[in-house]
Amino acid sequence: MNKFSNFGKIALAVLLAAGTAACGSSDSDTANAPDPEGKQEAQGYTYGVGKTFHSDEPVTYSMMFSDNEAYPYQADWPFWSSLKEKTNVSFDLSITARGEYENQKALVINSGDAPYIIPKTYDESAFVAGGQIVPISEWTQYMPNYTEAVEKWGMADDLKAKLREDGKYYVLPGMWESAGGGYSYVIRKDIFEAAGVDVKTLESKWTYEDFYEALKKVKAYTGADYVWSDQYEGDSTLGITGVAYGVTGGWGLANGVKFDEDKKAFYFADSTPEFKEYLTYLNKLVKDGLLDPESFTQDDESARAKFYKGETFVINGNYQTLADSMSKMQDKNSELYMVVQPGGPEGLLQIENSRLENGIMISQNALKELGKEDFIKMLRFIDWLWYSDEGQTFALWGNEGETYTRDDSGKIVLNPDISYNGLNADTGKKKLNVDLGYAGGVFAYGGSDELHFSKMTEGEQDYMERIKKYREPRPIQPPIMATTDEAEEMNLISKPLMDYVDTMTLKFITGQEDLNAGWDAYVAQVQANGADRYVQTANDIFNRTKEKLGY
């Protein structure tokens, strides 16, 4: 185990200790009193690992609610009544359409009128400096299920990604025991095999060069103009391929910096020889008629139509893409298969390395208005619903005996009259999320591998198992713990710099710019746009904060 990993346990202990110091002593220490039965009589509620949170008196907590148009809010969802029956807790919801959620969140936080609980937070950075959000790392010691998951799943290093310049974090992230499978390539397995490509054997160790050779065989067999026409304007493919080459692109473009674990320093990856090799490979796919250059400009529906019609045989997507495509393929003998992502110069790596999800911010209004002990009580309710195995199972599947049963092996079996995520698609007249309120994005995320797998079809479970079997986890980069002023300065450099990198990436790949002739000019312009200044600032910040990170 490396130093960074060892420090995780120390960091967790420090954070918990900091929480104790920050909270100080209370007039009544019943909140902290040892209680093996998990019953806090003086406070009037039950909590703890293996316990169902229940308040003796009815309690209501204010909360923002992101209303998803795919399963719009209903006041009579069984989810609400079941939650009230189990816990004696209700919500005073501020319901906002999903598309307006981020704007409304900023408005209420900046005005000082935020509800107590603010879920579905992907980026809390804009709210840290304003002082309206609780530095929640000082309070997680009061959340036994959360703390158990951090310790049992070794999440301390993962949580460092959320640390701010003050060494605290301000959001309770959803946590998965293992990273997900993410996006990859959905292929026509029947066509690949007919072309002489043994996909299931090759994918265990194949590289992008092996993938290239497989695509060439498919082109020769089918005579297609292009084997592959992509969706998402190529951004998913650019990001996935970048991992194998040790660079960034597409959805993974970010700020273009990578961390050298040996040198303990950041560097700008997107002007290195490895970046040129990455561009050369993708340009080769286009030049050889394997990857459609329209992949980087067409809308998603155009890419899907080509795949459905049998004009192309590869498309980037997640497992939902595969499930959606099954019924839309014109050739009903099509066999779709999601391959394990190829490796490259960096090795055979898992693409997804984060086990953190969107999370929950807690408004300072909760602490001010509830007081310490009732604030801790609210945290323990959150701890049960979002972080206990019981609460997570309830949020996803509902109640055993009502919406699901368990087979002899303990596996969850959704009632046949209820459909969800491709399960019971032919028999389920009711939808788990639309009609019952379970499996919604505000509550149902994070959990154990067992819970994660429970919502997958057998095909998706197989895909996940193949990734875990054939690919190695990749390290998590340390965060750049910048102050507000430093972050603003770095953003002023990064935005035009990465816009230029993104633009030139597409020009080089599609052949609008000659890579060999234009490479030196590209590198010079990257430097002129401030790449060296950005990296220097990142390393200055890292050296200032590295002790907090365990380096």
- Going from the C-alpha of 28 to that of each of 23, 58, 374, 515, the distances in angstroms are 13, 22, 12, 69
| 260 bridge partner residues | 265
pLDDT per position as a tens digit, 51-106: 999 999 999 999 999 999 999 999 999 999 999 999 999 999 999 999 999 999 99
pLDDT for position 5: 39
Q: Is residue 344 part of a domain?
A: no
Query: Are residues 32 and 73 located together in one domain of the fold?
Result: yes
Local confidence band at 457 (pLDDT 50, 70, 90 cut-offs): confident
> Is 525 inside a domain boundary?
yes
Total domain count, the chain: 4
Q: Are residues 165 and 266 in the same domain?
A: no
Residue 550 is predicted with a pLDDT of 85
- Same domain, yes or no: 162 and 257: no
Q: Does residue 165 fall inside a structural domain?
A: yes
CB atoms within 10 A of CB 357: 16
Q: What sign has the CA pseudo-torsion 353, 457, 305, 98?
A: negative
Query: Tokens representing 410?
Result: 């303990």
Is the model's pLDDT at 544 over the cut of 60? yes
Q: Mean pLDDT in the chain?
A: 91
What CATH number does the domain containing 317 carry? Answer: 3.40.190.10
Give the integer Cα–Cα distance in Å for 467 and 473: 10
Kindly state whether residues 121 and 224 are assigned to the same domain.
Answer: no
Mean pLDDT across the stretch 439-467?
93
Cα Rg for the chain, rounded, in angstroms? 25
Does the pLDDT of residue 4 top 70, yes or no? no
Residues 388 and 409 in one domain: no
Looking at the structure, tell me whether residues 106 and 198 fall in a common domain. Answer: no
Among 22-31, 42-51, 277-286, 459-468, name the most confident range: 277-286
Exposure string of 119-149, with b = 16+ CB inside 10 Å and e = fewer, is: bbbeebeebbeeebbbbbbbbbbbbbbbbbb
Main-chain dihedrals φ then ψ at residue 418, nearest 5 degrees? -120, 135
The residue with tokens 């899907």 is: 304
Residues 80 and 215 in one domain: no
The reported pLDDT for the residue numbered 484 is: 87
Phi then psi for residue 405, to 5 deg, are: -125, 180
8 Å CB contact between 356 and 172 = no
Could you tell me which of 259, 260, 179 has the C-alpha nearest to residue 479?
Answer: 259
Q: Do 137 and 264 belong to one domain?
A: no
* 451 in a structural domain: yes
Q: What pLDDT sits at residue 36?
A: 42
pLDDT score, position 324: 87
| Token duo for residue 361 | 């911010």
The sheet carrying 336-339 orders its strands as 314-317, 184-188, 336-339
Say whether pLDDT at 10 is over 70: no
Q: For the whole model, what pTM was predicted?
A: 0.83
Model pLDDT, residue 35? 47
In a domain, 477, yes or no: no
Q: Are residues 63 and 123 in the same domain?
A: yes
513 and 525 Cβ atoms separated by less than 8 Å: no
* 257: containing domain: 184-339
Q: How far apart are CA 144 and CA 383, in angstroms?
A: 7
Report how far residue 52's alpha carbon sits from residue 37's, in angstroms, rounded to the nearest whole number.
Answer: 12
- Domain contains 476: no
What angle in degrees, to the nearest 10, is found between the helix axes of 531-549 and 515-528?
A: 60
Task: Confirm whether 387 is domain-assigned.
Answer: yes
Question: To the nearest whole percent, how much of the chain has pLDDT over 90?
Answer: 84
Q: Are residues 321 and 293 in the same domain?
A: yes
Query: Is the per-residue pLDDT at 8 higher than 60?
Result: no
Outline where 389-483 has alpha helix (H).
Answer: 389-397, 449-454, 458-470
Residue 349 in any domain: the answer is no
Per-residue pLDDT band for 323 (boundaries 50, 70, 90) equals: confident
205: left (phi over 0), alpha (psi -120 to 50) or beta: alpha
310 and 193 belong to one structural domain = yes
- For residue 181, what pLDDT is reported? 86
pLDDT tens digits for range 471-492: 999 989 999 999 989 999 999 9
Cβ(10)–Cβ(17) below 8 Å: no
**317 and 376 share one domain:** no
Rounded average pLDDT over 2-24: 38
For residue 275, pLDDT beyond 60 = yes
pLDDT of residue 140: 97
